[in-house]
Structure 1
Amino acid sequence: MNGLSSFESGWPIFLTTLTRIIQETGPNIPVRQGLENILGTLVSNLGYRRVHLELFDLPRKNAKISLDRGRDPSIAHLYGPGPLATGQVMATRRTLVIEDVKDHPDFLGRPAEELATLSFLCVPIPAPRPGPAGQPAPETPDDLSDQDGALGTLSVDIPKAPPVFLEAHCDFLTVVAALVSSLSLRLRDELTRPRRRAPSPAAEPEESREHAVKPPVAVSKGMRLVIRQVAQSTTSSTPVLFRGEEGTGKEFLAELLHAQSPRRQRPFLRLGCGSEPPEAVEDALFGVQKGEASESSRSRRGLFELAQGGTVFLDDIEELSPAAQTAVSRVIHEGAVQRKGGQSPVAVDVRIVAATSAPLGELMATGEFLEDLYYGLSVLPIYVPPLRDRAGDILPLAEHFLAEYSQKLGKPLRRISTPAIDLLNQYHWPGNVRELASCMERAAMLCDEGVVRTYHLPPTLQTAESSNTGPSLSFGEAVAKFEQELLVEALKKARGNMFQAARDLRESYRVVNYKVKKYGIDPKRFTMGRRG
């Protein structure tokens, strides 16, 4: 089977599904939970009626692990795969496709109306491969180390479809089965290791829990470059400047940078430089020393002192006052701050990460932004492209947000309809990722049918075709109607004075007079105090 041609029509949803599966089976997620996440993702993303996973001889010989997930959780466990189908796959180690299940003995007892609409796919889960040459093979039972055997089966009940469609899904399930195989050794270790008492919450540093950052969604070439630049910036303490439009995710990337850096166990503190008056921002950043000079009865540490050893994120840094810019530059170059009213500097060890949507180079040229601070921040500049320039990220991000809000709202939202996807891809997203997140939150709140459709999206995304509001006038008629409205408004404002209306419209009296006669408008109607 040609994998490329089989995947050609469905590769976007397969790629999105595989990306989500990889994210939900990471090294920090228990394997048992990861396997359940795989089944749930297959049901929600690909529309399978049921998914069933069987693993044999785990964690020991003659043991069996069976997991299932269905669109109706209350009955999913009643309709597992039959022994004939799975036995055939285990014996032959080949994929099994049953296009019509109603006459197969494994499916006897199910409702006839369901059998008439189902096909069945089953793929073998290969035994895990040994490690690379030159490395010792992992310690495994004999059954797992048999490279020619099958470890189990992955099977799905899928709505009836043409054979080429079913073959494409078989190819994809084979990839998923290989992923499950790679998890089998970890699963065996989890099931056989001695039980340990769970650590108390105090054992985990508070900062590490607070700043756990979800994996970024980056499909487009531009966003993958950004993620690569963030990864390259994690090992040093050099300031980083994120540039880009509002709503592109600069704060998320700053949190990601901190979470991947050696400072991740220390605080990550943020401040919007334009959110408070300049004096309040300076007090928040650098602190206050009690005394007559500061007119304060108590001392307060600023963000740079509170974030000792960690990261300070300064959003909209172009909003800083000149005095604050000078003080931040001193932190970069000297590693010290001076509190308001203080006599001596305080040493600090922090990494500064800044973000801006303004052209700092132009502001520096006009003297509005400090040159020393500009060059201090621009050692590692990272440009975050707007969402309209990375169209490949729109659908994966939309599905990510939909899954997030679906979980929060407790709604089983499975997918986005094709017409709705077209609207998402056609829109120019002036608010970038922030606007997309808001859009999907609205859709999740309004949707009660499991599928997000065009009418669940905001009016700003609607087209004339999707909202059935196409123009009923010709181009010439629409122009004429617009001209009439402009003339009437100008005459109203000028109280019927044609000369004043012409001046307001920045047009000659001759043209205005001609248009007024053409459209049959009576200027006297707008004269104040006219008697009827």
Structure 2
Amino acid sequence: MVHKNDISKQLEDLTALYEITKQLASSKELSECLESTMFILSEIKGMENGTVSIVNPLTGNLEIEVAHGISAAGKKRGKYRIGEGITGRVVATGEPIIVPHIAEEPLFLNRTGARENVKKQKRSFLCVPIKDGQNIIGALSVDIIYKNGITEQANTDLQFLTVLSSIIAQTVVRVQKVNRETEELYSENLKLKRELSEKNKINDIIGNSSKMQEVYEMIHRVVDSNATVLLRGESGTGKTLVAKALHYNGKRKSAPFIVVNCSALPETLLESELFGHEKGSFTGANELKIGRFEQAEGGTLFLDEIGEISHSVQVKLLNVVQERKFQRLGSTNLIECDVRLVAATNRDLEKAVAEKNFREDLYYRLNVFPVYMPPLRERRTDILLLAEFFLEKYSKENNKKIIRISTTAIDMLIQYHWPGNVRELQNCIERAVLICDGDTIKSIHLPPTLQTAGNSSREKPLSLSVAVENFEKELIVEGLKRNNGNQTKTAKDLDTSLRIINYKIHQYNIDPKKFKI
């Protein structure tokens, strides 16, 4: 005859297993699902100090992966050699162990310090191995108080824990496999990105973001062509660098590269500057002047701020673009020219055409191969890369040994909206280098406009989960910096396991190699 109490215990076990299986099956993070498991054991089964210890593949020792009811300091102390103490013996033999009374067991080491006052309690300790086939990968242990002393119930609980350990083993193997596959995919992704970056790399242009990869691809497509290129984008996005890249990476690199800022000169001077003039062609023309089109013969002429030129200059420029011929001011002779034309503007030329401020025919002649330069706020992954480049540059120029940028300063740089784009970032880092007296750029060294970046660039506050992720990432990055990128030391420093650190590093796309000195 089955006793009602036995039925109640069986229902309790089934409920616990059901809830635990749900947690283990749904979670992708080992520590998270194991912590839930230990909590359920405590709430439903009344088992205390639940601990899962896993064999560290690097050291070969047992280390606590999760611990319910044990302090962080205690968890950190909970390390055992295989065969050492009760837990070490369970892993060494592969057999479960029941300790009827912890206080009377000399092999019980209490390394975690969680059972200091157990002499008066009838506290028992149950420990079972966690097996992957024949391979023992760890141990599951709990404390439990049997009011009537050790009875048949202890064996039933041991059987329950054995079943649970097999489920945990499957979860550990599954998560480890997923982590390995994720790591392989992550490594392969980094490899492909490096290959793509090397393939598309353009001298003097910094950036690995997807937006910049598109720019590199466009440059490579047109670099050896004679087609006119129109660079579009806000001021400070690097249009001049792209114009230089088009010239110095192309077939005209041995010929001149001539730059004309169309907005810096008045109409009369700009015309003379572009096409030259004959002696005596106007008051003050005391000698022959060779224009920029002639100076750029065989090479590239870069017309910056093309949207600012007057209608009369637009007409003459159109003739040059169409016919590849021009006349000096005061001359009737046509001069042929072989020049690659690159133009740039931050104006909305389509709007200017619609408003009759820019000739439509010239617009279509210039807009043969447009290249859009993204603003810095659209390529935030490049901000730190650019900042570090400028940091190194200005540190050398000013004979300073500034080696890094603090996490808080990095956050401010990333959050700021950068209306002045790369040029503003460059000035910002140069200023920071000049006023920094230590080896680290801190938030106080950044301009006042960045000090309120967190408030001005975000419409609503961060959610709790995102704020926690940001804080967690900052802790890990700072830990890696303190330990020169060593993940094992970082895990110890942050009072967590190497497995969790490895998982978080991949989750947040952190590259530990960047922090090696």
Which TM-score applies when normalising by structure 2? 0.49
User: TM-score of the superposition, structure 1-length normalised?
Assistant: 0.47
